[in-house]
Amino acid sequence: MAKRNLKKSVTLGLVMSLFLASCGQKDEKDDGLISLNEIEDIKTRQYAIEGQLLYANYCANCHQKDGTGLAKLIPPLQDADFMLEDPGKTIRLIKHGIKGEITVNGIRYNQPMPGNPQLTNLEIAEIATYIYTVFGGNEKRIEVKEVKKYLEEK
């Protein structure tokens, strides 16, 4: 019984997410970003929709809603070479944060980024799917097993 209710809840959640994305999602094409409505693969779209909500709660305050960062204080995620070069490093930063200097698109940043140790591997996969698809410019789903593998690396 509980298993059936869980399945119904997951299905209902997916349907509602897709409905909200198609009805209420602002088309971000004006910003040069990929709109969630343009994501063709249904699982990737689901991950990105959930990732957008998580990004808004955990990341947007510093990196901004549109991924442009904060001048020379907080690096951008939009077309960020740092992020695009190494998904594993990005996954580890989401979970564990960073202290010390990094260079993104030729600009040095030296503000600490707090980690999010409370996030599950699925939540990190959803955030990563969102940022890589929308801010990276390519439809890209990050799977939970990839997150697990990256987090086991040093």
User: In this predicted model, what pLDDT tens digit does every residue of 128-146 receive, in sequence order?
Assistant: 999 999 999 888 999 999 9
- What is the domain-level CATH number for residue 84? 1.10.760.10
> With contact defined as beta carbons under 8 Å apart, do 150 and 87 qualify?
yes
Q: What is the pLDDT of residues 63-83, one digit of tens each?
A: 999 999 999 999 999 999 999
In a domain, 1, yes or no: no
Number of domains the chain is built from: 1
Q: Which domain holds residue 142?
A: 39-152
Residue 16 in domain: no
**pTM of the model as a whole:** 0.79
Q: How far is CA 75 from the centre of its chain?
A: 15
